[in-house]
Amino acid sequence: MIVSMAAYILRVFPAETAHRATIKLGSVFSGLIPRAEADDPRLAVSVLGRDFPNPIGLAAGFDKDAEVSDAMARFGFGFVECGTVTPRPQSGNPRPRLFRLPRDGAVINRMGFNNKGMENAARNLARRKDSGITGINIGTNKDSADRIADYAAAFSRLAPLADYVTVNVSSPNTPGLRGLQNREELARLLETLVVARGGMSVPLLLKIAPDLDAAALDAIAEVALAAGIEGLIVSNTTIARPALASPHRGEAGGLSGRPLFAPSTEILRQMRRRGGSRLVLVGVGGIASGADAYAKVRAGASLVQLYTALAYQGPGLVGRIKRELLDCLVRDRLASVGEAVGLDAL
């Protein structure tokens, strides 16, 4: 019943209304959501010092304020990433700011890190009851005078409450933010966060854009490895506009969904070749099937995340992807997801 209601809301209501209604449904009825059946052991992945029951995660952007991580885990996700969270609350960009492109299996958003701030997220994370793996995605306030200090503040407050922390420097909807992917700024940011981490065992991941050239990818890989962070999330939404058919195709913002699949998978493959197994890669962008998830794994991802396809297909998609991913492993005579990681990046 709850699953059907969530699927209906996501499909029928205006995009941002549907999102808020789904969050409300999940927060109120979390305990009534039937827990997905135990995962096949072949789907288990051990990375980042954590044992993931399966590699399918919910990407940041859905649960911005860490309100429903327990509920989403019950749908069968192997992990849930909350955020993006900024130190201070902010309302984000003016509405409308979220647009479905159904003919393209895509979404354009220019949300602008709308969230209730790190103190609210900390309270929500502290109230979690489920033992599922939960990450937190951190960002900077739009009007911040010192963006690196913003990241350090959010990290220090939220890292003790999360299984991993993702540093979001790649959203296209905060002016100037992507400049933090430049070598010098990125090195300073990651060094600051590694120092702030101190003796904590929480892994640090960096979320990068898909709109990067080879030189930028080289620099990011070198800086990430030198800083000693654990992984990369590849990738955020794109500012590119391939041929699109939907009426909202001209809206400003980041494009996600099916058109992002091929370019983000290629960036993933390139980063695997640069970092090898020294960086754990999380593949994001256009995943809507088990075959899509498997392609990301073979390109170098140990874990994958989705969001846009969930808005079109509903939470039943998670179970279907896991079943189809198992079929891919059987077809290729592989005993586990781990055996497939990076096979197409050699």
Estimate the crossing angle of helix 261-275 against helix 214-227, to 10 degrees. Answer: 50
Give me 87's structure tokens: 């130190």
Q: How many whole angstroms separate alpha carbon 54 and alpha carbon 310?
A: 17
Cβ-contact 221, 208 below 8 angstroms = no
Q: How many whole angstroms separate alpha carbon 157 and alpha carbon 253?
A: 29
Cβ-contact 290, 325 below 8 angstroms = yes
Q: How many whole angstroms separate alpha carbon 185 and alpha carbon 107?
A: 30
Residue of 69, 171, 256, 264 marked catalytic: 171
Collapsing DSSP to helix, strand or coil, 256 comes out as strand
Give me 325's structure tokens: 């991913």
Cβ-contact 46, 54 below 8 angstroms = no
Distances (CA, A) of 154 to 119, 126, 134, 257, 307: 9, 15, 16, 28, 23
How far is residue 278 CA from its own chain's centroid? 20
Would you call 289 a catalytic residue per the annotation? no
Residue of 340, 344, 333 whose CA lies nearest to 45: 340
Cβ-contact 99, 173 below 8 angstroms = no
Cβ-contact 54, 43 below 8 angstroms = yes
143 Cβ contact list (under 8 Å, min separation 6): none
DSSP class per residue in 259-276: GGHHHHHHHHHHHHHHHG
* Beta bridge mates, 255: 108, 238
Residues designated as active site? 171
